[in-house]
Chains A and B, each alone.
Chain A
Amino acid sequence: MDIKPFTAEPIRVLAPDGSTVENADKLGLSKDDFLTMYRWLVFVRGVDDRGYILVRQGRAGFYAQVAGQEAAQVGSALPLLKDDWMYPDHRSQGSMLVKGLTATEWFGHVLGRMADPTQGRLMPHGPGRRDLHIVPPASTVGNKITEAVGTAMAQRIKKRKEVTICYMGDGATSEGDFHVGMNFAAVYQAPALLFVQNNQYAISMRTDQQMRTKTIAEKARAYGMDGYLVDGNDIIAVYAVTKHCADSARSGNGPSLIEAFTYRYGPHSSADDDTRYRPKGELEMWRTQRDPVTRMRKFLESRGLWSDEQEQKLQAEVKAQLAAAMEEAEKSPVPEPLSVFDYTYESLTPHLQWERKQLAAELGV
C-alpha cells in the first residue's frame, strides 16, 4: 500500500461496512495481528464503559470517554516499540492501555487511589508511568506538544532509534504551542509523531469554527513536514499510517503530522451537555454507520476469522477481567494526607517541613 501525505480524502483500508478498499494483506499483518487489534478495541471500549459508571455512581468527579475514537488510539499505539515515548492528552486512555498501563491503574486513577501510579495528583485526565515512557498528560491543552518535541530532540541527540508520539485534539491545533512545536520538530528533524485525533469538536466548537483550513494535515506543509490524513475509525489504516511515520522517523527522516478523522460518542466530559451543540442525527449516524469496533469485527467476519461464539467469549472475558481490575482498584487505599507535600521538590524544603508540621498538628498525627 502506497502511503502518501496530503491526500484530499482520508487514507483508508476498510470501508465503513468492513469491506476492503485497499489490499489488507500487503501490510505485513498476520491473522493474529488483526485479531489482536480487535481484542484491543473491545477491551478499550469495555474499560470506558466500566469507568464511566463511576461517574453515574457519584464516585468519580470527572471522566472523558474515548468511545468512538478507539481505532485512532489503539491503531496509533500498537506500532510503537517498548522504548518509544508517549505523550498522551486528556483523552488518551486507549493509547495508554496499549502501551502497558493496566486497567486497575486506570480505574485507580479515576477513583484517586494509590493504585494510580501518579497517586491521584491530577484530576482524571490520565496518569503516567516512567518505566513505560508514558508522560502524565497536562490539563492545559497544547502544553505537551513542545515537550514531546524536546524529548524527540533528545532521542536524536542521544542517537537512539526511538520515536515520541504526542496526542492532541483538533482544538489543540489552535494553540500557539502547536505552531511552536511543529516548527521545532521540523527544524531539528526530531523523530516525533504529532498525532491529532480530529473528533470534530473542541467541547462545543466545530473544526470549521476552529480553523480555516479544510484539513489539519495540510498545515504540516507550512512547516516543511509531511501531513497524513487517515480515517480514524479504520484501525488498519491508522496502524499502517502510524507505522509508516514511525519507521520514517526511526530511520532519521524526521517528524510527521497525522490527522485521524474520527468522532466522539460521549459528551466532551462528564461535565458537558453535548445535546446543546450536536446537530440532530449526527451522533446516531456515526454510532450506527461508522463505528470503529463494528467495522473491524465485520472485516474479521468477512474473512472467516470471527464468529458469534468468539464474540460472546471475548465479551465475557473482558467483563470478568474488568470486574477484577475494578475490585482491585477499589481495595487500594486513598493517599495519606501528609503526602500532600511530597514531590513538590525532590526533598522537602525547610518551609514545606514547617507546613507539614502544621498539617500534622491539624490532623492530630
Chain B
Amino acid sequence: MATAQVAKQTQSTMVQALQSALVEEMDRDKDVVILGEDIGVRGGVFLITEGLVDKFGTDRVIDTPLAEAGIIGAAVGMALYGLRPVAEIQFIDFIFPGFDLLVTEAAKIRYRSAGQFGVPMVIRSPYGGGVRGGSYHSQSPEAYFVATPGLKVVVPSNPYDAKGLLIASIRDPDPVVFMEPKKIYRSVKSDVPAGTYEVPLGKAAVVREGKHASLITFGAMVPVALEAADIMNKDGVEVEVVDLRTLQPYDTEAILQTVGKTGHVVLLQEAPQIGGYSGEIAAFIAENAIEYLEGPIVRVGGWDTAFPYALEKAYMPNPNRVVRALKKTLNF
C-alpha cells in the first residue's frame, strides 16, 4: 500500500494514472517493454501510451502488426527470455485471436516446466459497456480468464488503484490480465501520488462501510454499487460495498469478513450471469459461510444475451436493479 506521507498528490484520471504507472516502471526497469496496435505515435486509441515512444524509443514501445495472437505470443516469448512485456489489446473484445496463446501457453508454462520458466507479463485491455460500443466494444469476458489456473485477473475501479495495481502487476512473476474499465477512464478523478506505490494483488477494499448488507463487486460496477448504497441509505439501510480489485486470486478473507458482518449478500457484475464470476463467489460463500446468511445470495449482472448497441441501457446493470436485489435478500 501507499506510504502515509506522499509528497505530491494530484487529481488524476485513470488514463493519467495508468500512464504514470507505465512511465515509472519503464524508468525503473529497462526490461519493461510495451507492445500493441497503434501504441506508438498514435499513443493507443485511448491515449494511455501517449508520448511513450518519444521517451523510450521503438525498441521498448513496439507498434505491432494487427494480430493479437502475435502480440500475446511474442509477449510470452519475451517474458520467457527475461523481459517484462506489457501488451495492450486495443479492446478486450479482440483478445480472442490471442486467447489460445494466453490460456494454452502463458497460463501453463510455469506449471509445465516445473517452475523453470515463468511468464511475467501483463495484458492490459479496456473492457466494459456504457460507451455505446455495441457487441464488440463493450464486453466483460473476465469469466474466461478466471477459469484458467495460472492467470491472474485484476480489475481496478478508480485512478489510485489503477496505478498501484498496474505497478504490482508488472512486478508480479505470473501473467496478469489487467482489465481497464473504459467507462471510467476519464469520468472519475481521484488523488494519485506522483511516486511509485503498489496496491497488492489479491486484496479487496471496503470502499464503503455498512452493517446491513454486503454488495460485492469490482471495476466499472463500483460506482453503480455506491449509487445503490446511497439510495438504500435514505431508508436507513447501511450497505457495505466491497471492491474485489483482483478476481484471481481473490480475497477470501475480505469476503468472509463482510458476510460475517452483514449476513446479506448481493453480487454485482457487468457480464452475463451463467457461468459468470459472481457464481464462483456465491459458491464460495455458500460453502464457507452459510451459517452467517440470513437471506439468499442475489446476483445482478448483464442479461444472458450478447451485448446490444441500441438497447445498452436496458442491458446494463443500474442502481435500481441493484436496490431491488438488496431488498430481495434483506426482506427474506
- Residues on A lying within 8 angstroms of B by beta carbon are 85, 117-119, 121-122, 128-130, 135-136, 138, 140, 143, 145-155, 157-158, 164, 176-177, 180-181, 183-184, 187-188, 342-346, 349-352, 354
Contacts and interface: CB of A to CB of B under 8 A. Distances in A.
Contacts of A181: 70, 73
23 contacts: A121-B113, A128-B116, A130-B116, A146-B73, A146-B76, A146-B77, A150-B77, A150-B81, A151-B78, A153-B74, A157-B83, A164-B77, A176-B69, A181-B70, A184-B64, A184-B70, A344-B149, A344-B150, A345-B174, A345-B249, A346-B118, A350-B253, A351-B249
Contacts of B248: 349
Contacts, number: 147
Nearest to B151: A345
Interface stretch (B21-29, B103-111, B156-164, B310-318): B103-111
A121 B81 CA distance: 21
Contacts of B174: 345-346
A183 B109 contact: no
Given A153-B78, A154-B77, A154-B78, A343 B70 contact: no
Contacts of A157: 33, 59-60, 78, 83
A183 B111 CA distance: 29
A154 B81 contact: yes
Contacts of B64: 184
Given A118-B114, A118-B116, A143-B104, A183 B77 contact: no
Given A136-B109, A151-B78, A155-B81, A180 B149 contact: no
B40 to A, nearest CB: 13
Contacts of B76: 146-147, 150
Contacts of A136: 109, 112-113, 117
A325 B182 CA distance: 57
Contacts of B60: 157
A14 B316 CA distance: 69
A154 B82 contact: yes
Interface in B136-155: 149-150, 152
B73 A349 contact: no
Contact of B73 (A85, A118, A149, A343): A149
A85 B101 CA distance: 19
Interface in B244-273: 248-250, 252-253
Contacts of A147: 73-74, 76-77, 80, 101, 105
B150 A345 contact: yes
Given A121-B111, A183-B70, A344-B110, A146 B117 contact: no
Interface residues of B, number: 48
Given A121-B112, A136-B113, A344-B111, A145 B83 contact: no
B65 interface: yes
B246 to A, nearest CB: 10
A177 B77 CA distance: 13
B173 interface: yes
B115 interface: yes
Interface in B174-196: 174
A119 B111 CA distance: 10
Interface in B45-96: 59-60, 62, 64-65, 67, 69-70, 72-83, 85
Contacts of A145: 73
A342 to B, nearest CB: 7
Given A143-B104, A151-B80, A184-B65, A346 B73 contact: no
B304 interface: no
B116 A345 contact: no
A354 B252 CA distance: 11
B116 A146 contact: no
A121 B77 CA distance: 20
Given A119-B114, A136-B117, A184-B65, A150 B252 contact: no
A354 B256 CA distance: 14
A176 B99 CA distance: 13
B300 to A, nearest CB: 24
B202 interface: yes
Given A118-B112, A121-B111, A147-B80, A135 B70 contact: no
B291 interface: no
